[in-house]
Amino acid sequence: MAMTASPDGSANLDSSFAPIPYMARTRAFYLALGYDNPYVWAHHDDAPFTPLAKPLGATRIALVTTAAPFQPGKGEQGPDAPYNAAVKFFRVYSGDARLDHDVRIAHLAIDRQHTRMEDSGAWFPLPRMRRLAEEGRFLLAPRFHGFPTNRSQRRTVETDAPELLARCRADGADAALLVANCPVCHQSLALAARHLEAHGISTALMGCARDVVEHCGAPRFLFSDFPLGNAAGRPGDAASQEATLALALELLAEAEAPRTTWQSPQSWAASRDWKRDYANPARLAPEELARRREEAEAARLEARALRQAALAPGDTGPASCFCSLH
């Protein structure tokens, strides 16, 4: 049973604050496009849990992202870019946490209608983490890690999560902050968090798809009720991003039991109309649904070809779920 509260422990009973039901939305969307084999999301009633063993100031923390390094020559990847399967990655990668990195989310099914992908601080908090580490708030692991999505759950659990664990251990990480973007990102990182916690590394997952994460059973989850692609704070808003990171660190240190969810007190906008749009077939005309079907099928085939080219024969897993909603 998830423990759900604001950081001060108060309950929020206003139904207008209900999060988007991403699992139901994506199911309805793909059925409306003509795909009649709905994806089965990962589900666990329990969750492993590793209490933070040291004071936060002595804890070495790694950042885990689903963002991809910018790849010149592979199509649009900047603000307002359409979905771009060409820049997907299929294995865990790592980068020097001391340096700045250009990582983007054009390969993911974030909310393109209500956010523009113009500020990487909304999905990649490494610069802010580096600054807080310099201030002595915690120790920053020497590398950040990119974690692949668009995977079978089997591959995530049996291949990608163990590889992430090995890299975190090699860096001496005691804990990890994982920042999710698309719906499948949330599942992949929840599964990764479960694996890390089961092997002694504490985690806090930052995300915007609450139903996906809690269905999977993440140990600790900071929920921001923002459009997908903004798990680390509102774009262009330094105060929002700083507060979101601070709250994730607080959750990491203070959670006392598994399946603990904290909700950020921040709001995206005065109106919550944006929640009605994402992957909602009822709000699309038949001709637009037909166009989305054509684009989704092209993205599925491209992603499958890229996955098969990137992975060794017999290493692809089932072509279970692609994520090209936009």
Q: Is the confidence at residue 205, as pLDDT, over 80?
A: yes
Q: pLDDT by residue (tens digit) across 1-35?
A: 344 443 333 334 344 579 999 999 999 999 999 88
The whole-number pLDDT of residue 110 equals 93
Cα(177)–Cα(189) distance, rounded to whole angstroms? 10
Highest mean pLDDT among 76-90, 200-214, 285-299 belongs to: 200-214
Average of pLDDT values for 124-133? Answer: 98
Torsion sign, CA atoms 271, 272, 278, 281: negative
Q: pLDDT by residue (tens digit) across 148-176?
A: 986 689 999 999 999 999 999 999 999 99
Q: Which helix (H) or strand (E) holds 62?
A: strand 60-65
pTM of the shown model: 0.89
3-state secondary structure 136-181: CCCEECCEEEECCCCCCHHHHHHHHHHHHHHHHHHCCCCEEEEECC
Q: pLDDT by residue (tens digit) across 257-276?
A: 999 999 999 999 888 889 99
The whole-number pLDDT of residue 313 equals 53
Q: pLDDT by residue (tens digit) across 37-63?
A: 889 999 999 999 999 999 999 999 999
User: Which range among 159-173, 199-213, 283-297 shows the weakest confidence by mean pLDDT?
Assistant: 283-297
The whole-number pLDDT of residue 152 equals 84
The whole-number pLDDT of residue 12 equals 41
Average of pLDDT values for 207-229? Answer: 98
Q: Is the confidence at residue 324, as pLDDT, over 50?
A: no
The whole-number pLDDT of residue 8 equals 36
Cα(52)–Cα(168) distance, rounded to whole angstroms? 15
